Amino acid sequence: EPDHPMAEWLKFKQFFVFVEWPESKCFKKSFVTDVARVCETAVPLVRFLNNAE
3-state secondary structure of 20: coil
| Rounded Cα gap, residues 53 and 51, in angstroms | 6
| pLDDT at residue 42, rounded to an integer | 94
Domain ranges for the chain, please list them.
Answer: 7-51
Distance of CA 2 to the CA centre of its chain: 24
Q: What predicted TM-score, i.e. pTM, was given to this entire model?
A: 0.65
| Rounded Cα gap, residues 21 and 35, in angstroms | 10
| pLDDT at residue 11, rounded to an integer | 81
3-state secondary structure of 15: coil
Tens of pLDDT, residue by residue over 1-53, are 778 887 887 788 788 889 999 999 999 999 999 999 999 999 998 898 888 76
| Rounded Cα gap, residues 13 and 20, in angstroms | 23
| pLDDT at residue 53, rounded to an integer | 63
